[in-house]
Amino acid sequence: MSELQNQVAIITGATSGIGRSVARELGGAGMRLVLTGRREERLRELATDLDACETIAGDITEPSFPGRLLNAAIDRFGRCDAVFNNAGVMHTASIEETDIEVMARMVRINVEAMVRVAYTALKHFRTQGSGHLVNVSSILGTKVRPTAGVYAATKYAVEALSEALRMEVAKSAVKVSTIEPGLVATELQDHFEVHPAKAFGIEQPLKPEDIARCVRFMLEQPAHVRIPVMMVLPGEQPL
């Protein structure tokens, strides 16, 4: 039996890619889940594969939305033990081609909403006396490349906030972790004119399931163990 059996997790960005795979991995470990994303039909489809699951479709950038997710976990399952803070989008463009409104929307999702979810979770965990927040960063939270400056900046923000929060909850039973995926085969970059896998010559990018296993590993560690940061790359990715 997994150490996660009957624990409760909130997963944002659960309708595709990493979020969906993490939901399946943690559901398979016996966790009870509250899942959210923008596409209600996909949430309902995912829920049919899981035993104990609550779904809430909506816009993660709404200020009250993180509180709704936490209340749903408590109302349905009586507690919340983990939050996988995963919702995010990726847009890149040259200086000349950048649409500022698109970039600003990305900042609201990747930074503002991430911050709201993180603080909502940690305030609850502090009151509860335990809990684990896992924020999703990126390899581009540690490096930058041309045209991806705004996206990288959002992930650098995840890194900075996560480390500050980890320090703040040190010596308590509350945990804060950050996961930094390299190139993963998801829908995140499907709108790119040239997909990064082709641009960088990566024939075998990571699968969402690879990241899901790593997230489960983080959550299953004993109470005295902390994993502040985990970077996960495909073998062909030098960056």
How far is Cα 8 from Cα 5, in angstroms, rounded to an integer? 9
Cα 108-206-204 angle, rounded to 5 deg: 130
Calculate the alpha carbon distances from 196 to 46, 55, 87, 98, 171 in Å: 27, 32, 20, 18, 41
Q: How far apart are CA 115 and CA 85, in angstroms?
A: 9
Can you say how many angstroms the Cα of residue 170 is from the centroid of all Cα atoms in its chain?
Answer: 21
Q: Which of 151, 158, 161, 162 is catalytic?
A: 151
Tell me, yes or no, if 156 is annotated catalytic.
no
Is 43 exposed, middle or buried, given 0-12, 13-18 or 19+ CB atoms closer than 10 A?
A: buried
How many C-beta atoms lie closer than 10 Å to residue 76's C-beta? 14
DSSP, collapsed to helix, strand or coil, labels residue 6 as: coil
Catalytic residues: 151
